[in-house]
Chains A and B, each alone.
Chain A
Amino acid sequence: MYEFQYHRPASIDEAKKILADNDEAIILAGGMTMLPTMKLRLARPSDLVDLSAIDSLRGIRKDGKTIEIGAMTPHADVAGSSVVQSEIPALADLAGMIGDAQVRNRGTIGGSLSNSDPAADYPAAVLGLNAVIKTDTREIAADDFFKDLFETALGPNEIIQAVRFPKPKRAAYAKFPNPASRYAVVGVMIAETTDGIRAAVTGAGPCAFRATEIEAALAKDFSATALDGLTFDAGDLNDDLHASPEYRAHLVIVMAKRAVAAASV
């Protein structure tokens, strides 16, 4: 790793100030992406701003029909939360499928979303469940958040504070994991929300996206068989050593069917 200055501010304001004063400063959350990237010398921050001492960023709160999860909440807390398990079981399940136990103990929802790894799981939850991302300056709708490969709507130095998930009528996530890393080759979140059916796909494209053809088919008939015969266009999908675009297109439909079946029980 290159040298850097380390800071552990106790408040958002203090964190903002360090970020503003240092052009090359970067936020550190769980470090599960940041530290491996720095070890490979793919990142050279002048300063690391560790958010772990800001208590208000951590925790899970139920507020009427929504669940709010602080940005620094580790995946293990979401997976193990009795509130999340009873209100939005699909979200607890998804968090429990991320990486391995030690990654879940450190990795955070804020870090995962800011990073927008094409194979990350949380983007499918945020997009599929129509969540809202609260930053230190504004609220961003899930539909406006994911822009491209490792690119989001976040501005420079904008800090995610929490993510608010409305409770769906029913939802489920199905994932085809890479057997080595556990990242999603393809993952699909299917949800019936108060605003209709949503189908969010991760792993398949440069960033998470909604599959409108699946949503349309499920709006007519919410059953796995409603997707029989549906094909997904492989055109823009990822092509790498793990899977071809055609295989990913096939997996999108298979994972969508599994998620619908799981959401229906």
Chain B
Amino acid sequence: MSITVSFTLNGEPVSAEVDNHTLLVEMIRDQLGRTGTHIGCDTSQCGACVIHVDGRSVKSCTMLAVQAEGADVGTIEGVALNGKLHPMQEAFREYHGLQCGFCTPGMIMSALDLVQQNPDPSEQEIRQWLVGNLCRCTGYQNIVRAVRAGAQAMRS
């Protein structure tokens, strides 16, 4: 059965006709055309699909589109400001926190949630926070460095 779902996406009101069983990530990618949010595992493990819903990071492959009705949704497309990379994005570039880039949108959305709760996370805290974000390329070292540098840039 199809139903209209409306929410705010990166500050803009959006709506689309979806099925009850349409996943939020499918609505965002296939219907709203924002393909920065990736689907890696589709089993709640990898974090490639992490977005923000009402200010908190969630796995959008494990949420129904209908559950986002009326919510404030944020994706990677909303992170840069006026064409300028966000300090966290800039830090990933600067510190080579990505190789193929598939995990990166999820990493950044997850890291931004960490920094809003803990503006100065230690290396250990960053590693613990990112257990739900898998990267097949980098070996994580530079991701952790990037998040530390991004957090520092956001503080200053």
Contacts and interface: CB of A to CB of B under 8 A. Distances in A.
Interface string B118-139: 0000000000010111000000
A210 interface: no
A38 B114 CA distance: 30
Contact of B44 (A2, A3, A32, A76): A32
Most chain B beta-carbon contacts within 10 A, residue among A76, A100, A103:
A100
A52 B110 CA distance: 23
A102 B3 contact: no
Nearest to A4: B20
B114 A5 contact: no
Contacts of A100: 47, 131-133
Interface residues of A, number: 28
B58 A105 contact: yes
A101 interface: yes
Contacts of B43: 36, 39
A6 B132 contact: no
B38 interface: no
Interface string A91-116: 00000000111110110000000000
Q: Report which residue of A4, A76, A106 has the largest number of chain B beta carbons within 10 angstroms of its beta carbon.
A: A106
B63 A35 contact: yes
Q: Is the interface of B mostly helix, strand, loop or mixed?
A: mixed
Contacts of B44: 32, 35-36, 103
Contact of A6 (B20, B47, B50, B133): B20
A3 to B, nearest CB: 6
A6 B4 CA distance: 12
B21 A4 contact: yes
Interface residues of B, number: 29
A102 B57 contact: yes
Nearest to A105: B56
A106 B50 CA distance: 12
B50 A31 contact: no
Interface string A175-194: 00000111000000000000
B27 interface: no
B20 A101 contact: no
22 contacts: A2-B21, A3-B1, A3-B19, A3-B20, A3-B21, A4-B21, A6-B64, A32-B44, A35-B44, A35-B63, A36-B62, A39-B42, A52-B67, A76-B56, A100-B132, A101-B110, A101-B129, A101-B132, A102-B59, A103-B132, A105-B57, A181-B45
Given A32-B62, A35-B63, A48-B20, 7 more contacts: A3-B19, A4-B20, A50-B67, A80-B117, A100-B132, A101-B113, A103-B132
